[in-house]
Amino acid sequence: MAIIIDGKKVSKEIKDEVREKVLALKEDGVELALAVVIVGNDNASHVYVRNKKRACEYTGIRSIEYDLAEDTKEEELLSLIDKLNEDKDINGILVQMPLPKSIDPDKVINRIDPNKDVDGFHPINKGKMLEGSECFLPCTPSGIIELLKRYNIEIEGKRCVVLGRSDIVGKPMSILLLSENGTVTTCHSRTKDLSSITKEADIIVSAIGKAKFLTSDMVKDGSVVIDVGMNRDENNNLCGDCVYDDLFEKCSAITPVPGGVGPMTIAMLMKNVLHSYENQKGK
Ligand code: GUN
């Protein structure tokens, strides 16, 4: 039987830590602000953005939303980013992904001031992450590292298997686990004999977005499973990448969906906005 890794509880602890500092700053007349830019009508993205705004309200960070139409021109979005980069009252800029097909996401990410890139998506921050130097880390993978640490799950020397190689989760997850001295294997759609790899893993992070993909026969007894998936099952219920009930019996620790990784992403974003202010002030 597994320990349930309670991302909701840990994320509240983190948000409370941020809130305390943000409220102390407010007493000194400083207000932190996050610009949240969303383009188009993607339903899931609107839900994520709503949750991010709620977390801002909770922590005392001002969120300024820019809700742009699906047919927004790339140039218009780039000009908005230029304006937000210049605005001294804005500490962080978040452009919700995915963007409509007519807009090149790399161009947009490249335009964000790396010092305000609270998502950790800018190439400068990615490069610094590779080096292991101080930077904004992407929120989902850094939230997973934080969860493992707060549950005293050792990464050093452990066999870590990451399922998925997306820019937002899989790739940075592999790098962060490596930075913590894990022995990391990244698996993806072209990986052969996946089960033989997952069965060797002490820690599995699944970020592939396939409902109930990871089954208990694919893991060894006592493994730790982190489920990043947000999928709908055959009955339209929210579920992760893992067959939770079966894995729960076999694993030593597991994250539920919902209430596992999801809330951590938002808590780490709040932490990044606070860091952004602290860095900007320190300059
Ligand atoms: N889309 C899915 N996850 C994320 C995220 O962490 N940040 C942004 N900006 N977009 C996303």
In a shared domain, residues 160 and 256: yes
Are residues 258 and 226 both part of a single domain? yes
Does residue 145 share a domain with residue 106? no
Q: Per the structure block, which two tokens stand in for 137?
A: 């880390």
Q: Is 166 a domain residue?
A: yes
What CATH number is attached to the domain comprising 232?
3.40.50.720
Position in ligand 1 atom list of the atom nearest CA 140 = 6
Q: Based on the domain organization, do 205 and 107 belong to the same domain?
A: no
For ligand 1, say whether the CB of 147 is within 6 Å of any of its atoms: no
> Looking at the structure, do residues 201 and 242 belong to the same domain, yes or no?
yes
For 186, residues 6+ apart whose C-beta sits below 8 A from its C-beta are 162, 165, 170, 171, 174
Mean pLDDT for the chain overall: 97
Angle at 111 between CA 109 and CA 112, to 5 degrees: 70
**Which amino acid appears at position 138 of this protein?**
P
The answer on 235 and 146 residing in a single domain is yes
Distance of CA 162 from the midpoint of ligand 1 (Å): 19
Total domains present in the chain: 2
273 domain residue, yes or no: no
Q: Is residue 272 part of a domain?
A: no
Residue 52: active-site member: yes
Predicted pLDDT at 14: 98
- The range of the structural domain enclosing residue 37 comes to 30-115
Is 158 a known active-site residue? no
Angle at 112 between CA 107 and CA 115, to 5 degrees: 145
**87 and 198 co-located in one domain:** no
Is 234's pLDDT higher than 60? Answer: yes
Q: What is the mean pLDDT of residues 93-110?
A: 98
Q: What is the pLDDT of residue 282?
A: 81
Beta pairing, strands 203-206 & 159-163: parallel
**What pLDDT, on a 0 to 100 scale, did the predictor assign at position 281?**
86
Distance CA 146, CA 156 (A): 14
C-beta 139 within 6 A of ligand 1:
yes
pLDDT band for 283, please (50, 70, 90 cuts): low
The Å distance, Cα 65 to ligand 1 centre, comes to 15
pLDDT tens for 118-168 read 999 999 999 999 999 999 999 999 999 999 999 999 999 999 999 999 999
Confidence at 192, pLDDT banded by 50, 70, 90:
very high
For a pocket test of ligand 1, which of 39, 42, 63, 97 has the largest count of ligand atoms closer than 8 A to its C-beta? 97
Q: Which of 113, 117, 119, 202 is catalytic?
A: 119
In DSSP notation, 43-80 reads HHHHHHHHHHHHHHHHHT-EEEEEEE-TT--HHHHHHH
Residue 25 CB less than 6 A away from ligand 1: no
Answer yes or no: is 2 within a domain. Answer: no
Q: Are 57 and 63 in contact (CB under 8 A)?
A: yes
Whether residue 242 is found in the same domain as residue 165? yes
Ligand 1 centre and the CA of 246: distance in Å? 30
d(CA 39, CA 74): 10
Atom of ligand 1 at shortest distance to CA of 138?
6
Establish whether residue 117 lines the binding site of ligand 1, counting it when its CB lies within 6 angstroms of any ligand atom: no
Q: Do 111 and 156 sit in the same domain of this protein?
A: no
β-strands 238-239, 231-232 pairing: antiparallel
Ligand 1 pocket, residue 93 CB under 6 Å? no
Query: Is there an atom of ligand 1 within 6 Å of 80 CB?
Result: no
Q: Is 36 in the pocket of ligand 1 (CB under 6 A)?
A: no
Q: What is the pLDDT of residues 172-186, one digit of tens each?
A: 999 999 999 999 999
CATH code where residue 56 lies: 3.40.50.10860
Q: 126 catalytic, yes or no?
A: no
CA-nearest residue, atom 9 of ligand 1: 96
